[in-house]
Every structure is written in structure tokens, then in C-alpha cells.
Amino acid sequence: MNVWLTARGAGLSALILLTISTSLGALVSLRGPAARRYVVQYVHRVCAALGLGVLVLHVGTILADSYANVGVSGALVPFTAGFRPTAVALGTIAAYLFVAVAALGFARGRMANSVRATRAWRALHSLAYAGWAAAVVHGFTAGTDSTVGWVRAIYVACVAAVIGALAARLTQLSPLRTQGVLK
């Protein structure tokens, strides 16, 4: 039972941390003082790193839980898990996307040498949204406690946070950028 509790707690904690990171990633480009952007960027990166660390704990405890029936290949190869294969596959895909986005985050300084490379980095880094969405669906469909009220409230709050951050980002785009003058 302790393994299951740790696995679920780590999964929900990873989702919360990665939701904070995804939301802050959307908000970091908003206009405002440079000092605020630096702080938001820093917290964005810290939450991403913590989220990935807790995600490793989640996967490790799922592998240690004999009830979960996921197995190493089920955790690494999408759609091969013995327990809810599609739901677990979404978690695997989300984890791969988050790791790829984190690697891109580390490479940002090298990729930002030109306008074209910066656009490519931004497009690839936006895969975090797909990873986050896959993680939400994974948790809701694979999680054995998704029917519990407070757990559902966490999912709703996570979805609301990312949608709100994206809405704020999209509504504050510069008029020149929306007209195609600035790229």
C-alpha cells in the first residue's frame, strides 16, 4: 500500500509541478519588467526540474508496485503495459516529451544564435503543451483514484491554470506580432 500511495502522490506532485512550469513558461513572455521575467523564468526552470525528478520517483514506484502490472517495457515502450495500456502509453509519451523539452531548454543558448534557430527552438519547446496534455489524460485515465473529489479538483485546477496562462499570453501578443511585422 505504501508503494501505491507513493506512486500516486508522486504522479500528482509531478503533474502539479509540471503544470506550474508549463503555466509559467506561457507567462514568461508577457510584457513587464525584466526582473519579473527573470524570476518567472527561474521558477519555471526550477519547477520543471523538480517535476522531472518527482516523475522519476513516480515511474520507479510504479515499477516497484506489483499490483500496477506495468513492467519496465510497459513503462518504456508505449502501448505495451499490462495495466491500461493506452493510458500508461500517454504517460510514457508525456515523459518522453518533457525530457525532450528539458533538453531543448538546456540547448536554448546555443540555438538562439539566429532568428530562424530561435523560431525552431520556440516551436520545439512548445511540445511541452502536448506533453502536459498527455500527462493530464494519463493521470485521469490511469489513476486509480481519479474518481475521488479532491483528485479531480487537482486535475481541474491544473487544466484551468494552463488554459488561463495560455489565454493571458495570447491576449497580450503585440499588435505588430499579430500583423506579421515582428516574427
| Fold type of domain 2-178 | Four Helix Bundle (Hemerythrin (Met), subunit A) (1.20.120)
Please state, in angstroms and rounded to a whole number, the distance separating the CA atoms of residues 71 and 61: 11
Phi/psi of residue 131, each to 5°? -65, -40
Length of the chain: 183
The pTM score is 0.88
The predicted-structure confidence for 20-30, as pLDDT tens digits, reads as follows 999 999 998 88
Cα–Cα dist 118/111, whole Å: 6
Contact 136, 160 (CB under 8 A): no
Angle at 15 between CA 140 and CA 66, to 5 degrees: 65
Q: How confident is the model at residue 182 (pLDDT cuts 50, 70, 90)?
A: very low
Distance CA 98, CA 130 (A): 9
- With cut-offs at 50, 70 and 90, classify the pLDDT of residue 34: confident
Q: Residue 168: what are its φ and ψ, rounded to 5°?
A: -60, -40
Contact criterion met (CB below 8 Å) for 90 and 133: no
Q: Which amino acid is at 160?
A: A
Domain boundaries, the chain: 2-178
Residue with cell 503533474: 15
- Return d(Cα 41, Cα 39) in angstroms, integer: 5
Q: What is the pLDDT of residues 48-91, one digit of tens each?
A: 999 999 999 999 999 998 888 888 998 999 999 988 999 999 99
Question: What is the pLDDT, as a whole number, of residue 88?
Answer: 94
The span from the CA of 100 to the CA of 69, in Å, is 26
pLDDT at residue 89 in the model: 95
180 dihedral zone (left: phi>0; alpha: psi -120 to 50; beta): left
